[in-house]
Each structure stands twice: as C-alpha cells, then as structure tokens.
Amino acid sequence: MATSTPTPDAYAPPPGGSPHASARSGRQTWRSRLWRFDDKASPYAYIAPFFLVFGAFGLYPLLYTGWIALHRVEMTGLNQMEWAGWDNFDEILHDAEFWTAVTNTFLIGVMSTVPQLLVALGLAHLLNYRLRASTFWRTVVLTPYATSVASAALVFALVFRADGGLLNWVLHFAGLGDTNWANGHWTSKIAISVIVIWRWTGYNALIYLAAMQAVPADLYEAASLDGASRWQQFRKVTIPSLRPTILFTIVISTIGSMQLFGEPLLLEGGRLGATGGNENQYETLSLYLYNYGWNLGHLGPAAAVAWAMLALLLIIAAVNRLIGRFVRTSAV
Amino acid sequence: MTMTSTVKAPEPTVPPARRRDTRRPSRFGPGAGKQLQGGPFAYIALAVVGIGSLLPLYWTLVAASHTQDEVLATTPPFLPGGRLLHNLDAAWNQAHLGKAIVNSFLVAGCITAATLFFCTLAGYAFAKMRFRGRGALMTGVIATLTIPPQLSVVPLFMMMSDIGWGGQLESVIFPTLVSAFGVFFMRQYLSEALPYELVEAAKIDGANNFRIVRSVVLPVARPAMMVLGMLTFVQAWNDFFWPYLALNQQNPTLQVALGQLSASYTPDQSIVMAGALISTLPLLVVFVIFGKRIVGGIMSGAVKG
C-alpha cells in the first residue's frame, strides 16, 4: 500500500462540473461548486470519525503517558502533578518485581503462543478435509472465543485449584500426586497459558483454514505428481503458502500476550491476584501496571511502565521484522 | 515415501489434471479437499478438540448448579445439580448483576452501532473514493491495530475523571466508537463487493455522496455489516481491561461485576460460576444462532489480513 497520488481521471466528472457549466447561470456554478466540494470533502468527512476518536482516546493519551511518567501523580489527587524527572523510571527499573513481570510476560507469551499456533495449524489441516457437518466442527472449535477473559479465567481457576480442583482430581485418579498449580513458578505459568490457548486456538485455526483454502489446487497436484507424500506436501506446499498468514498470527498473538491481564488477575483472585501470586510468579506487565496505578495509587510509575511496554513492543516489532526478512529470504 | 526418481515425469500425452484422477486422489488443497472425505482419525481428533473446547463451559454449568462444598469435594459432581436457581439468585444479588446486564447491553450496543456506522463510511471512502493521502492514511489505520490499550490507560483515566466521566459508561463507550479492524474489514469487503459502475450510475443520476452511501453502499455492505456487528458485539461484551479500571462496583459491566465478585474476600465458587454463566449465556445463544456467519466472518476477515 504505497502512498499513491490520486489519479483524477478515475472518476467521471460530476454533471455540473462539465466545461459548459461556467457559461451557464450563476446558480449552476454554485451547484457545480457544491458538487466539487462534496466530492472533495466527503472522503475526509467519512474517515474523520476514526481519526478523531483515535486521536482523542488513543494517540493523545499515548503521548500524554510519557509526560505523566515524568511526574508524581497519585490516585487520591488526580489534578496535582508534580515534576519528578526520571524518578519514576528509576523506581521501576530498580524494582526486581518489574523485571520479574517482564520475564513472566515473555515466558507466558512464548508458552501460550507457540503451542497455540502449532495446534491451530494442525486443527486447520483437519478442518480442511471434507467433513460431515463441517460448519458444526468449526463452530464448536470457535466457541471458546465467545467466552470472556473473566469467565474463562474463573472456570480454569476452579480447574487448577490446589484442593478440590478438577485437574488434581484427575491426576490423583491417575495415581499422580497433587500439584499446587498457582503456587509453582512454572505450573502457574502453565495454567495461565492453558487459559490463553483454550480461548484463542480455534480462532487462529479458522484464520489458517481460510488461508489453506486459498492455496491453489494445482500446487498440490504438481507435488503429488512429483511423488510428494502427505507430510511432504504439508511441509513444502501448505506451510510456505501460509507464511504471510503465520507471520500475521505471530504478530497478533505477540501483541495479545503483552496484554495478559484478566487471566493472571483472576487465577487466584483477591489480594494474590493483584500481585500475581505470593512471589509474583505469574505477574505480567499489565498486572504490574494495574497494581502500581490502581492498587497502590501511584500513577506516575504506572505511566512509566506503559512506556517501558512501548519500548518492549518496538523491540519485538524489530525482531519480527528481522524474522520476517529471514523467513522471506531463506530457501524453502 | 521417497520415490522422486521413479514418478517424476508424466507422459506428455495425458494432461496432468486428468491423470491425477486415475491415481489416488490428493488429500490436500481446496479442490482435492472437496473430493476427499476425512477419515476416522480426523473425526476422533476433532472430537477430542471439540470436547476440550466445550468441557470448561460444561464445567461452569455443573459448578454453578451445586454447592461449593459439592464442587470441591474429593469426588466432584459430573452432572448438573439442582442448586442452579439458588446460585443464580445469589450471584444476582451479590454483584449488581441486574444493573451489569443492562450496562453491558448498553455499552456493547452503542459501540456496535457506532462502529458499524463509522466503519462502513470510512471503509467505503478507502475502498472507492480517491483523495489525497489515502494510502498513507490507510497505513495509519492499520498501524493503530498494533497499539495495546495498556499504553494509554493512565492518562485516559485522568481525562475521564476530568470531564466528569469517571466511573461512567461513557468512559468505556467513547474510546471504542470506531475500530481500525472495522475500517479495514469494510474496506476489504466493499472494494470487492461494490461494483464501481453502481457508484458511477448513481452519480450520473445526480445523487450526492451521502445519498450514494444511503441507497447504494449500505445495501451492498449489509452482509459484511452483519458480520462486523457480531464480531464487535462479542468483543465489546467481553472486554475486561479498560472497563475494569474505568468502572466501579456500583456501575459495572458484566465482566467487571464478575471480576469484582471473585475478588471479594471469600468468594463462593458456585456463586462465582453462576455469575460466569450469566455473563456467557447471551453470547452462547448468539453463537448457536449465528455461529456459521461468525465463522465465515472470521475466515473472510483473516484471509486478506
């Protein structure tokens, strides 16, 4: 999508705007002017709401966050901003909890994104067969998408409960010991990843399925004529054709995992939820931001966390670009 | 199966397409997929995934219809019990759920209506109108997709309290009146579904731009608007992060009320599950009725993403 210059000849000129118009009455010229104005201004009027809303509630606050990050602002007195310089950044960057949150966000991001996309790929492949009641299967697979973060997190909190949890009952039944899921460093991350995977796998599978159905059939025909096995076809035809889509889902999932909030907040709920466990073992960056701003009431450091997230996002974007370039240039 | 050397060249006299039909049919691709039935393995695997998808929802129902002690007993119940109404009633009274439902419908309804209106207009402009800076502006729209809400919540919270919307539904509705995804979705749809001749004909008939939108664009856009409407509604209904920060206990949406219910000191898990059921049920109903369209919408929105 280049920044193309408009080509005026794409439109039939409005009736009033014809060369003869100027010779006619003043009323006609007025009308033609109105026409031209309508033609020129309408597109801007139609896209204006998006940019107005985004400017007011997206871009302006985003920049303002940077300004707040340099001030001392408390929840108790929102109108009193006191210059603080780099203090807020100093505070969070020297807080071990912040780095725990960064690590957790990254780990949970990987632990939820990778299995999710792999399963989604396999699932899409299954859904691509000719199936009885294919719409039924697609809908069933997508059902978790209709569930909110809150309900999903709360059900899984019940499943992962230390005593009386459904999962521990199953493990007990299988002769394995109980696990205090939320307490462990890895087990709590697994629990949160499971919630994410459950909610988003079907969604991603449908995105892959759509891309799979757009792969031209002759590619497969050619491959099978060359004697490629099913697995070879999947690897050498399907996956390369899906590359842009896979990259797209990776980007979307990465951005999504940066935002994990409801899942850790509600895994144990209450006081533990707000700090991501008694040792912050599942505290994410969003949770850290929330805890600083809305629990402790210090909005300055919370804003600093937001900008730290922005920095992380830019790093991830750069890495994604590099991967994208590598994927594009490397041979199949 | 490494037989690349043996089956390399088909006889030139037989066109490849027909040649394929005489052999084992390919199991891949759209054309091939249409011919090949999924085997039992596919059904078993799908059934496993399907059960995994639905089990947590079933468990919500089971837990919501027993007492907490029964749910957390050494051997949990596996069938729904008889306490559902009691728990629903308790959840309703403990968490302002009545108000929350009204609020959720208000919020999701307003956001959906506004998104449909503004995104169709913007999508039409980007798809069929030529104007200076169109490409750059569209790139800008797409770029906003990658900005998480976390980055702007602190000033947003302060702004909202400044203009008197602190804790009000307006603070949740206004920031999401339009969506970049919606603009993108409508643009993709309209650039394919709306023939340019139609717009031109209307112009020659002397219709102004707004009239064209009303009588030409909107009828064509209706199927896509249905899909976008449902996707937007689902998203607005389920939104958690910003509403949780912006709204308070007295004036919550369903998701916020649910979060607060579980954050109370000793939440009764059965009652929490009853709340979860109330917050999920409306969407599940929508899903059962419109599932096919939503599936189609996600697939059509994604394939060009």
**Complex ipTM, two decimals?**
0.85
DSSP label at residue B40: H
**Through-space distance between the first and last CA atoms of chain A, rounded to whole angstroms:** 26
CB-based contact A5 B132, cutoff 8 Å: yes
- Of the ranges A55-64, B68-77, B275-284, which one carries the lowest mean pLDDT score? B68-77
Q: How open is the CA angle A182-A186-A188, to the nearest 5 degrees?
A: 25
CB B53 within 8 A of CB A202: yes
pLDDT: which is higher, A8 or A300: A300
CB-based contact B28 A233, cutoff 8 Å: yes
Range B210-239 burial, b when 16+ CB lie within 10 A, else e: eebbeebbbebbeebbebbbbbbbbbbbbb
Those of residues 118-137 in A touching chain B at CB distance below 8 A are 123, 126-131, 135, 137
B16 pLDDT tier (thresholds 50, 70, 90): very low
Q: Which of B126, B150, B192 to mutate to test the interface with A (most CBs of A within 10 A)?
A: B150
A304 pLDDT tier (thresholds 50, 70, 90): very high
Average pLDDT over residues B296-303: 72
Q: What is the overall mean pLDDT for chain A?
A: 85
Sequence-distant (6+) residues with CB within 8 A of A274 are A265, A287, A290, A291, A295
- Of the ranges A219-233, A305-319, B29-43, which one carries the lowest mean pLDDT score? B29-43
- Which residues of chain A does B95 touch, with a Cβ-Cβ cutoff of 8 Å? none
- Which residues of chain B does A293 touch, with a Cβ-Cβ cutoff of 8 Å? 153-154, 157, 245
Helix axes B254-263, B97-128, angle to 10 degrees: 140
CB B72 within 8 A of CB A163: yes
Closest CA to B184 of B224, B148, B214: B224
CB-based contact A158 B63, cutoff 8 Å: yes
pLDDT in tens, A201-226: 999 999 999 888 888 888 888 888 88
Helix (H) or strand (E) holding A80: strand A77-83
Residue position matching structure tokens 């837990």: B63
A60 pLDDT tier (thresholds 50, 70, 90): very high
Of B30, B71, B238, the CB nearest to A148: B238
CA distance B193 to B120: 13
CB B152 within 8 A of CB A54: no
CB-based contact A206 B46, cutoff 8 Å: no
Those of residues 213-232 in A touching chain B at CB distance below 8 A are 213-227, 229-230, 232
DSSP 3-state of B260: helix
In this prediction, residue A7 carries a pLDDT of: 43
Looking at the complex, does the CB of residue A331 fall below 8 Å from at least one CB of chain B?
A: no
DSSP 3-state of A129: coil
Would you state the structure tokens that stand for residue A259, as one six-digit string?
Answer: 């935002």
Looking at the complex, does the CB of residue A269 fall below 8 Å from at least one CB of chain B?
A: yes
Of B146, B273, B279, the CB nearest to A255: B146
CB-based contact B7 A123, cutoff 8 Å: no
Q: Which of A158, A232, A257, A285 to mutate to test the interface with B (most CBs of B within 10 A)?
A: A158
Of B150, B240, B295, the CB nearest to A149: B240
How far does A299 lie from chain B, in Å, by closest CA?
7
